[in-house]
Chains A and B, each alone.
Chain A
Amino acid sequence: MNAPVNPPRPVALGSSHVSAGNALELRGITKMFGALAAISDVTLSVRPGERRAVLGSNGAGKTTLFNCITGDFLPTAGLIRFFGEDVTVFPPHERIRRGLRRTYQISSLFAGLSVIDNVYLACRGVSRNRFSLIRPRRDDALVHAAEMLVEAVHLSAEKDRLVGELAYGQQRQLEIALALSGAPRFILFDEPAAGLSPTERRDLVSILTTLPAHIGYIIIEHDMDVALRVVESVTMMHNGRIFKEGGPEEIENDPEVQELYLGGGHE
């Protein structure tokens, strides 16, 4: 279980003037690990359908931010609203059922199950009858949905193979299929291009750019060629704080950003 036994009750800040029109609204999110602030006072809002990159060097707090949004960690302070609803202290599964999805930096799949079973579980997780003891029929709507998703990420040929036997790039593709299951409204992609070949990166960009327009996302990505081509806005993080926000070109050409991040050993 990820939730601590006695979670510190996060302090709600100025919740009165939070606009309900945003897909995701973070206000003053702080996460302490002991005395160390992994992220501090992060305030961020993303419109429905907006696609945003979160950039920053290792240790900038990007993945911690994702973990707070999905509920893997409860923030030490701050407020999280998802489509207007305060989800700050919701357990992860309640947020997922409301249309939030995420992928993991290190593939987080079910190695002992087949590809199709992995996607089927993802579809089942956000629908009813999760506890059903009756086997699904072959024409079950969710079985069909799972097969469509497997096809969408080009894995139909591997659908009955155990996930533990898949190549790395294929596991990354499966990660995305899991995030697209059900009716996602907002997706968090954590370094989806990490470890992919140039061809696989092109596939990834095409998958991201052809997502239905109503699905917004935040993407953490070190590969600028991928990140800046699939987003309309960029948030730079540094040492757990938001450092700069702007459009992709603006950020790319910002001398401070180049100094801090682009010139700092990456790429």
Chain B
Amino acid sequence: MAMTDHAPRFVNRADQKLWFERIPAPWWALAVVLLFLPVVANTFWLFQIMGWTFILGMIGLSLMFLAGYGGMVSLLQMTVAGVAGYMVAILGTSGTVTVSLGLAWWIVLPAAFLVAAFFATVSGALAVRTEGIYTIMITLAIAAAFFYFTRQNYTIFNGYSGFNLVLPPQLFGVNWRDPVPFYYLSLVLAALSYGAVVYVSRSPFGLALQGVRDNPRRMAALGFNVTAHRVAAYALASIFASAGGILLVWQNAQIAPGTIGIPAAIDVLVVAVVGGMRRPLGPFIGAFIYVILQVFSPDILGFFGFSAERFKLIIGLGFLAIVLFSPDGVLGLWDRWRARRRQQDPQAGGGAA
């Protein structure tokens, strides 16, 4: 898996620009659109479509970080998100008063991140001793085990019914579950996660991870502890998955075993593959496509006389088409289209998207 965007890090001092001058115009346009979306969009678009896109995008981003930079395809990321989400429900307040501890939010949130990071690190330590399809199998096995555990354990996870009425804290007098505040909350967290991954990809740790992806044996021959780098990548990726998982619980106001089941784990993989795993933007594009399809395909299917439950068929066909024609996702299609246009007309092109 080669990376296509290698931003020139070692720029001559002469053409050195300030960081905001190096951001290409399309990014500014996207930022303006996202910031002012609440002016034009209705609450359904803000809360359901965009909120869900950002959440799925962040969980997909944690998979992209592991798979795109580290070469480790983990089906565990939805489970990590679920662990953080469950922790918020168990340690904080929910409708299930017999289980939830009702601790203050400033204890609950750090604890949720820490527990999820611990879970990801231990699972990662198991998974990194394997390669390729065996990594997929072992992470899938852990995901399945956790799903069945939550469904059968009532003392901690409240079994089949899970937790409902899990609400975000009323910080600064804002109800963060109202559509506009929730939109901005998820937008900011998604943007921070995206920025963190872009930044870390050029740090010594990020470069070393890409080295491990390309050639683990040589990395060891350069003095790197390959296993430790892989495990650390799982720990770091858990932060983005946890943020997504906590937002997911707040958005749904509930969490149950179904939230973190095998179909959900596979959805995260679909989102990352459809968008493109080479770049951090990919999972967000994949998430947007997935959410749009899931929300609107029942109407379209109904129009043609099919059952609304067939929307997974459309997603599955789309997934097949992407894997067959553009293994590097929608972003890969876009890259090739731009490359062809630049070949035809050397004047066109400009900043990278």
Tell me the nearest residue of chain B to A143, going by C-beta. B10
Residues of A within 8 A of B223 (CB): 93, 96-97, 125-126, 130, 182
Cα A102 to Cα B223 with chains together (Å): 11
A136 within 8 A of partner (CB): yes
A130 touching B224 in the complex, CB below 8 Å, given contacts A113-B207, A117-B207, A160-B8: yes
Cα A126 to Cα B204 with chains together (Å): 12
How near does chain A come to B276, taking the closest CB pair, in angstroms?
A: 15
Cα A104 to Cα B215 with chains together (Å): 12
Contact of B211 with A132 in the complex, beta carbons under 8 Å:
no
A70 within 8 A of partner (CB): yes
Cα A125 to Cα B232 with chains together (Å): 16
Q: How many residues of B contact A (CB 8 A)?
A: 40
A263 within 8 A of partner (CB): no
B48 within 8 A of partner (CB): no
Contact of A108 with B218 in the complex, beta carbons under 8 Å:
yes
Classify the secondary structure of A's interface with B: loop
A121 within 8 A of partner (CB): yes
Q: How large is the interface on A (under 10, 10 to 19, 20 to 34, 35 or more residues)?
A: 35 or more
Contact of B205 with A131 in the complex, beta carbons under 8 Å:
yes
A131 touching B229 in the complex, CB below 8 Å, given contacts A117-B6, A121-B208: yes
When the two chains form the complex, which single residue of A110, A114, A132 contacts B218, counting CB atoms closer than 8 Å? A110
Contact flags A189-221 to B (C-beta < 8 A → 1, else 0)? 000000000000000000000000000000000
B199 within 8 A of partner (CB): yes
Tell me the nearest residue of chain A to B3, going by C-beta. A112
A109 touching B218 in the complex, CB below 8 Å, given contacts A126-B223, A133-B203: yes
How near does chain A come to B331, taking the closest CB pair, in angstroms?
A: 15
Contact of B204 with A131 in the complex, beta carbons under 8 Å:
yes
Contact flags B184-201 to A (C-beta < 8 A → 1, else 0)? 000000000000000110
When the two chains form the complex, which single residue of A93, A116, A134 contacts B203, counting CB atoms closer than 8 Å? A134
Contact of A121 with B6 in the complex, beta carbons under 8 Å:
no
Cα A101 to Cα B9 with chains together (Å): 27
A122 within 8 A of partner (CB): yes
Given contacts A121-B208, A125-B222, A133-B203, 4 further A-B contacts (CB under 8 A): A91-B225, A132-B205, A138-B11, A162-B2
